[in-house]
Structure 1
Amino acid sequence: MHSEDSYRDAPVFLLTIDESMLIEAASKIAQKTLGDCKRCAIGKFVDTRLALELGDLMQSVKIDAPPIYRVLTFRRQDGERIVVAGLVDKVSCGDSPKLRITALYDPSSQPWLEELIHSEDLHRAFVQTSSEAMWCIDFSEPVDLTQGDHETIRQVFENECRWLMCNEAMARLYNLPMELDFNRQPVSLYFPRNLENETFVRQIIESNFSVDKVLSIDTSHDGSSMYMENTVHCNIQNGCLLRMWGSVRDVTGYRQVQNRLTRDAQDVRSILNAIPDAILVINRERRLLAVNASFEALFGWKQHQFLGQDIQSIINLEAPLPNGRRWYGIDHQRWTTEVKISTGRSMMCDAQIFPVGEEAPDRFVLTLHPAHE
């Protein structure tokens, strides 16, 4: 219960509003600031948008729920605007609930406060209209960074937190329906705890809480997985993580293509390793670029002994071929040659070389097959 006298004598700007949106009680500071306002409709002192917002809060806020921070602009009876930064909550007073507005008000702070609000409005407008998806996670339960990486990662995913100032581009990126506000959605719904995202958080920790173009795997509103490239910064105070914010880019298509190319390359490598002939890829300087498993099986040489090295020491490519041709021509070449094996002996092999590319090739595929077979 709160008495009217306690409201009147409160050393702050304080109003209570009843369910009819009439000002029921006002502190002396509030009455001095606004003029005689008791039993007046709140709409007399605020614009239509704020009046509607306060009406919504009267309906939606629960009694004794945590206060909501708001910057409020009032209009005095002489038309002068008064800006206050304060808290709005709902309290039980008598037989009915009341909406309470509490703020510290000092006329000398008006220019500073209005400049701060103007700056915040510009910042919010920049974020909301940006084509780049921007996000912020605010930890109402700060993450303790003094307990080691494992505990830090656990708290990032399990501590109470919320989205803050996620913009429209962010909502579009995650396919959020128009009627849903991204900032009211659970963080875990779009940033779930999984092995990939734990690795993502670990990278943030190891990079001193500032990273650029780091991969995470998020969840779209329809439940599909999304590969995201993140730039992340953090607000840390007294060993506690308070906020993480940054921008994000969808690289799902690129990542899927990359994964497919990786699988294709693995398939090609498996096929080449199954071929019994030795297959070598060399450049015009005769340096070995790639080789299959049969190179080691046939000649006893380890792949690492020649990768990046000139193979002239084991096969003489500079010897003239039939009709005076050279090995690095633009046509398919075929001949018989000696290949030195790891025991020091030589093995006669049928050699074939194929240029990669049609004009001035700089890579060649060389196949070697024992001639006695």
Structure 2
Amino acid sequence: MTIDGTCDLDAMLIFVFDETETIRYCSPSAENLLGTCGQRHLSQLVEAASTKILLELATTLPVGVPPTPSMLTLLTREGSMIAVAAQVGRITLPDHSSAWRVTAIPTPGFERWINDLVQSKALLESFAELSSEAMWCIEFSEPVDLSVDDDDVIRQVFENDCHWLMCNSSMARIYNLPPGLDLNKQPVAQYFPRTAENEAFVRQILEANFSIDGVLSIDTRHDGAPIYVENTVRTQIHDGHLLRMWGTVRDVTDFRRTNNRLSEEARDVSSILGAAPDAIVVVNRNREVIALNPAFERLSGWNAEQLLENDINSILDLDCPLPGGGCWYSINRQRWLAEIKAQAGKPILCDIQSAPVDEEAPERFVLSLRPANTTENLT
């Protein structure tokens, strides 16, 4: 029997089975290797696991679609097994019933190579899953065309069809997913929405030739709360199209909030110092000026640019003996009278008070100064 559309090639094994799992045709090369095939049951030619694969394909392959590739194991006439790389396609027999044609090529050693690849893939997936570092990969089902201008590339990154190819457990923890919810099955846009900040992030990737380290982006947790993350990103590009982006993520939300809070506190302190009527200067243990307020500039005539990071001893002698034998860098508050050298050249006698910034082993000290003639006499 011949089946329309089949051809006998010395290098190929071709056989056809029908809906009853009966072999309806075998090429001479297939019979030479597998034995006489006519009217034999599929399971007599094909190993059990491979038979299951073929029967699953028989229930899912529609007519007219390209053949589906598959790795199979066949049974030879001597009873041994041989690995083959096969293409399986659905065809129609002359009686209008359906059948499935298997076109295969023996692949000595190929099955072991495939098994090694599968094991290596499983090992890498295990490493990624157990890693404490959050890892992710986005695959574009609709590759991003990189031949257009940057604005259109950025639009495609957010609008083209894409999905998570891999996200590990650390990623799920960062995005605060409920137990049992698989991040890999969630929409990418839910956690990486199109915002002005994220558009700027993608633009940075473009400008860095698709490879960045430690770049900030703003994502969204599962509950909708914003999250600041630091990203390392790499990409796969083929034929001018972006196929995948992957990388690692570090949650810096707490650090960002702390930094913002400290910045606000620093601004508050600066505002308070600016409003204070007394002249105030902050120095370290080496007498270097760290900060000063406008009142100090008005009193001394020296501005911040002239004094910052310079030794204050050039205008105020801190090494002079203090009342009671104390020193200006004591952990206790000190008070004394001393002259400050004004920029105009005339010294100004001041009532000076010093206090450490920290209680233990202080490294910074605040000095407040008032002209002595406006203060009470020291006791």
Q: TM-score, normalised by structure 1?
A: 0.74
Deviations 1:329-350 (A, max 9, x none): 3321112333333444443332
Counterpart in 1 of 2:214?
Answer: 213
* Residue 188 (structure 1) shift: 1.3
Structure 1: unaligned runs, 5 residues or longer: none
- The answer (yes or no) to whether the contact 2:15–2:27 under 8 Å persists in 1 is no
Counterpart in 1 of 2:107?
Answer: 107
> Is structure 2 residue 72 aligned with structure 1 residue 74?
yes
> Is structure 2 residue 256 aligned with structure 1 residue 258?
no
- Give the match's secondary structure for 1:143: strand
Deviations 1:286-314 (A, max 9, x none): 10112233333443432222111112222
- The answer (yes or no) to whether the contact 1:10–1:27 under 8 Å persists in 2 is no
Distance 1:27 1:252 in 2: 65
The one-letter code sitting in structure 2 at the alignment partner of 1:261 is L
From the superposition, tell whether residues 283 and 175 of structure 1 become closer, same or farther in structure 2 (CA, over 3 Å).
closer
From the superposition, tell whether residues 91 and 181 of structure 1 become closer, same or farther in structure 2 (CA, over 3 Å).
farther
- Give the match's secondary structure for 2:219: strand
- 1:114-193 matches, within 5 Å, as 114-145=115-146, 147=148, 149-177=150-178, 180-193=181-194
Counterpart in 1 of 2:49?
Answer: 46
* Residue 91 (structure 1) shift: 11
- The answer (yes or no) to whether the contact 2:233–2:247 under 8 Å persists in 1 is yes
- Give the match's secondary structure for 1:361: coil
- Give the match's secondary structure for 2:167: coil
Counterpart in 2 of 1:309?
Answer: 310
Q: Which one has a bigger Cα radius of gyration?
A: 2
- The answer (yes or no) to whether the contact 1:282–1:363 under 8 Å persists in 2 is yes
The one-letter code sitting in structure 2 at the alignment partner of 1:339 is I
- The answer (yes or no) to whether the contact 2:233–2:248 under 8 Å persists in 1 is yes
- 1:1-373 matches, within 5 Å, as 5-6=4-5, 8=6, 45-46=48-49, 58=60, 72-77=70-75, 80=81, 82=83, 84=85, 105-108=105-108, 109-145=110-146, 147=148, 149-177=150-178, 180-373=181-374
- The answer (yes or no) to whether the contact 2:91–2:101 under 8 Å persists in 1 is no
Deviates more, 1:267-276 or 1:31-40: 31-40
- Give the match's secondary structure for 2:49: coil
**What is the RMSD computed on CA atoms of the aligned residues?**
4.6
From the superposition, tell whether residues 310 and 283 of structure 1 become closer, same or farther in structure 2 (CA, over 3 Å).
same
Deviations 1:78-100 (A, max 9, x none): 57374648799x9999xxxx999
Distance 1:37 1:307 in 2: 98
Distance 2:39 2:267 in 1: 77
From the superposition, tell whether residues 53 and 352 of structure 1 become closer, same or farther in structure 2 (CA, over 3 Å).
farther
- The answer (yes or no) to whether the contact 1:190–1:221 under 8 Å persists in 2 is yes
- The answer (yes or no) to whether the contact 1:45–1:76 under 8 Å persists in 2 is no
From the superposition, tell whether residues 17 and 345 of structure 1 become closer, same or farther in structure 2 (CA, over 3 Å).
farther
- The answer (yes or no) to whether the contact 1:14–1:100 under 8 Å persists in 2 is no
Q: TM-score, normalised by structure 2?
A: 0.73
* Residue 127 (structure 1) shift: 2.7
- The answer (yes or no) to whether the contact 1:140–1:161 under 8 Å persists in 2 is yes
The one-letter code sitting in structure 2 at the alignment partner of 1:337 is A
Distance 1:185 1:340 in 2: 69
Q: How many residues align?
A: 361
Counterpart in 1 of 2:377?
Answer: none
- The answer (yes or no) to whether the contact 1:141–1:161 under 8 Å persists in 2 is yes
Distance 1:30 1:269 in 2: 89
- The answer (yes or no) to whether the contact 1:230–1:248 under 8 Å persists in 2 is yes
* Residue 122 (structure 1) shift: 2.8
- Give the match's secondary structure for 2:317: coil
* Residue 135 (structure 1) shift: 0.9
From the superposition, tell whether residues 359 and 187 of structure 1 become closer, same or farther in structure 2 (CA, over 3 Å).
closer
Structure 2: unaligned runs, 5 residues or longer: 375-379
- Give the match's secondary structure for 1:46: helix
- The answer (yes or no) to whether the contact 2:23–2:40 under 8 Å persists in 1 is yes
Identity %: 46
